[in-house]
Amino acid sequence: MINKYIFGKPFESEAVVDFPSDAKVFTDNKAIPGASVCVSNDFKMTIELDELDMIFGLGESLGGFNKRGKVFRSWCTDDPVHSEEKEALYGAHPYFIIYSPTKKTSSLYFIDYPGLVTLDMAFTFYDKVVVTVPNDNLNVYYIKEDSLLDTAKTFRAIIGKSFVEPFWAMGYCQSRWGYKSDEDIDAIIANHKKYSLPLDAIFMDIDYMESFRNFTVNKANFPDFKATVSKLKALGVHLVPIIDAGTKDCEEDEIDREGISNGYYCKTADGKVLRAAVWPGFAHFPDFLQERVRKWFGEKFKLLQQEGIDAFWIDMNEPVMFYSEEGIKAASKKLKEYAQLVLDDKLASGQIVAWQMKDAVGCLQNSMSDYESFFHEVPKTVAGALAQKEPCFKTQSADDVLVRHSDIHNLYAFNMAKAVSQANKGIFLLSRASYIGSHRYTSIWMGDNFSWWSHIELALHMLPSLNMAGFIHTGCDLGGFGCNTSRELLLRFLSLGIFTPLMRNHAACGTRAQECYNFEKVEDFRALLSLRYRLIPFLYNEVMKASLEGELMFTPLAFEYGEDEIALHCEDQLLLGKTVMIAPVYTANAIGRNVYLPQNMLELRCSSAQGCLSGKPQTRLLEKGAHFIKCAPNEVVFFVKEGCAIPVVDAALNTKELDYSTITYWGSENPVTPYELKYKGE
Ligand code: MIG
């Protein structure tokens, strides 16, 4: 069952694209099942929970599989410190499923509002979900099916099919903020060759550009970029350059001047082009909500495609603003005032002013007043009641109206990805920020995690909630982005990464070198990466089924073994498709971990000697129940359901070399249901 509840005149976000014609639509009707709704300039929905009710969903967010007991904000945010108490990450995915284990009911709520939505998941009141929106124009979707899985699948059905990455995107990707020249790229290639480490892509972070200007390549560091790209392509390695949302404010930059003269950029209330700083210093922000701007910006990617590039990642598209002109002026005024107070000795406590001074600078980035200060030009038919009643400047088209950025913040990255994807069919695309529906245009990664043990578990937690929102091709920065990784931590990160569609090692500048070949016993890394390639036909098939047929690739055990109380509450294992279960190690110095088997399963133990590079893993049947499973950092242990088997091919150093004619099966000797390999990569 799907119901849609329209309140006021919502902005048409395009999150939902396949709403069934026979589903029910209610207008200004507050009778959403299970909820009590209050509308008066703003919107408030309260849902009473039973003691044992569980909450799944919320896409890219912190917390466990079960989100009960936390507050979340749907608001695309660049906050690189993903500590437990944070409420918002880069993606804004305001949907959740309430599951009652006693009544066996699953109810999904999707609050389709492109500005701020606060989702208090039984935090303030232990038995209440409270959703608040500071506006009364929005759509709420309510879905109820017989099971958790069916409820999630119906949601997937209305938000459309997922963007499909090229096959090579299943290969190992090496990235680091700091690669800046031919020499850097050559060194990665040479080391991967030297140690027989597979490789399919190298990501180029902002340092490949000329003064951080989009669509430029630094000539001194890449004298013949076209030759670089084609040399790598011959080796089967794709270069993936980054493009940021903000475009450098620069007289000599033709693209920027084009943007100015055609009125492609967001403007502030005085009708002037918004200036705010990101990596290149002051930058302008394309108004991706306009179709003509999407076209213009999307076409610019062809400049790099002419050099042979066929893959991009787009970043800073929340959008991040380090500071605006207004912001920096106000902050420096405040700092002067505080400093004067200190110098005049007018303070009781020195500490307080130190904090205030820090705050005055700290709150410059991603400030709400900056987001409130600029506007988008949007068709009247789309804007609904979010249109400015008294426009502060004239729109360029008479059919358009002005909409304040803060009211539609979460659609900025959505429309940037749409721009790139629609103008460049068949490319690889990875975005940082997203909204519901972005999965039709792009893959996403999980943003700037840390080299923390808990961030292996966090990535595990996000996989199913992202899958429910249509993001199948995803993964975290393996090894951790911020701070220094250790050999053991990287091995354990990679052991999860073997199973995530995006397998990318990425690190921030200034951190310890994190490429596999920088650590002792490189052969252990070789074993793990090789195992990944052996599993690619299986993984790719699962990715395609999930992307095109609306299946989930990863599900918590609760989705399949809800009758089993232990499985229902299992927070650190995942089912992968209908055959496999993974249980990665995510603690330091561990010799293994406790694993709960919700049914009889085969344990597949892969090591350099058995399975990773060639041959079969050590395999044994384990009975339903709790087990301590030993697993050294250079081993990968995973589980196949009794009676099932999965396809595996010979190891390869590149996806181009994967040979489907070498398929063998791991798992049960005589599977009850043979594995169907429906989608083969090429
Ligand atoms: O402000 O381009 O998430 O992957 O390495 C940081 C530099 C900007 C954030 C991305 C990260 C990337 C980094 N970027």
Digit-coded pLDDT (tens) for 60-105: 999 999 999 999 999 999 999 999 999 999 999 999 999 999 999 9
In this prediction, residue 506 carries a pLDDT of 98
Whether 33 contacts 144, CB under 8 Å: yes
Atom of ligand 1 at shortest range from CA of 80: 3
Distance CA 138, CA 28 (A): 10
In this prediction, residue 639 carries a pLDDT of 99
For a ligand 1 pocket test, name from 175, 204, 205 the mutation site with the most ligand atoms within 8 angstroms of its C-beta.
Answer: 205
Residue of the nearest CA to atom 6 in ligand 1?
316
| Amino acid at the residue 387 | A
Rounded to the nearest angstrom, the distance between the alpha carbon of 459 and the centre of ligand 1 is 18
pLDDT tens digits along 556-599: 999 999 999 999 999 999 999 999 999 999 999 999 999 999 99
In this prediction, residue 107 carries a pLDDT of 98
Give the contacts of 21 (CB within 8 A, at least 6 positions apart).
none
Residue of the nearest CA to atom 5 in ligand 1?
177
Atom of ligand 1 at shortest range from CA of 509: 5
455 in helix, strand or coil?
helix
Rounded to the nearest angstrom, the distance between the alpha carbon of 316 and the centre of ligand 1 is 7
Atom of ligand 1 at shortest range from CA of 175: 5
Q: What is the DSSP string of 232-293?
A: HHHTT-EEEEEEESSEE--TT-HHHHHHHHTT-B-EETTSPBP-EEETTEEEE-B-TTSHHH
Residue of the nearest CA to atom 8 in ligand 1?
316
Q: Which residues of the chain have pLDDT under 70?
A: none
Rounded to the nearest angstrom, the distance between the alpha carbon of 314 and the centre of ligand 1 is 10
Atom of ligand 1 at shortest range from CA of 448: 3
Residue of the nearest CA to atom 12 in ligand 1?
177
Rounded to the nearest angstrom, the distance between the alpha carbon of 509 and the centre of ligand 1 is 9
Largest CA distance in the chain: 85
378 in helix, strand or coil?
strand
Rounded to the nearest angstrom, the distance between the alpha carbon of 130 and the centre of ligand 1 is 33
In this prediction, residue 526 carries a pLDDT of 98
Residue of the nearest CA to atom 13 in ligand 1?
177
101 in helix, strand or coil?
coil
Rounded to the nearest angstrom, the distance between the alpha carbon of 315 and the centre of ligand 1 is 7
Distance CA 293, CA 258 (A): 11
Rounded to the nearest angstrom, the distance between the alpha carbon of 508 and the centre of ligand 1 is 7
What pairs with residue 242 in β-bridges? Answer: 313
What pairs with residue 142 in β-bridges? Answer: 3, 109
| Amino acid at the residue 419 | A
Distance CA 560, CA 148 (A): 9
Straight-line distance from the first to the last Cα atom of the chain, in angstroms, rounded to the nearest whole number: 39
- Beta strands 645-648 and 618-622: pairing type? unpaired
For a ligand 1 pocket test, name from 242, 314, 451 the mutation site with the most ligand atoms within 8 angstroms of its C-beta.
Answer: 242
Ligand 1-lining residues (CB < 6 angstroms): 177, 205-206, 242, 315-316, 432, 447-448, 506
Whether 210 contacts 218, CB under 8 Å: yes
- What is the pTM (predicted TM-score) of this model? 0.97
Would you call the peptide bond into 198 cis, given omega within 30 degrees of 0 as the criterion? no
Whether 553 contacts 542, CB under 8 Å: yes
In this prediction, residue 221 carries a pLDDT of 98
In this prediction, residue 217 carries a pLDDT of 98
Rounded to the nearest angstrom, the distance between the alpha carbon of 355 and the centre of ligand 1 is 27
In this prediction, residue 349 carries a pLDDT of 76
CA 221 to each of CA 188, 201, 217, 225, 508: distance values in angstroms, whole numbers, following the listed order: 16, 19, 8, 9, 20
DSSP state, residue 471 = -
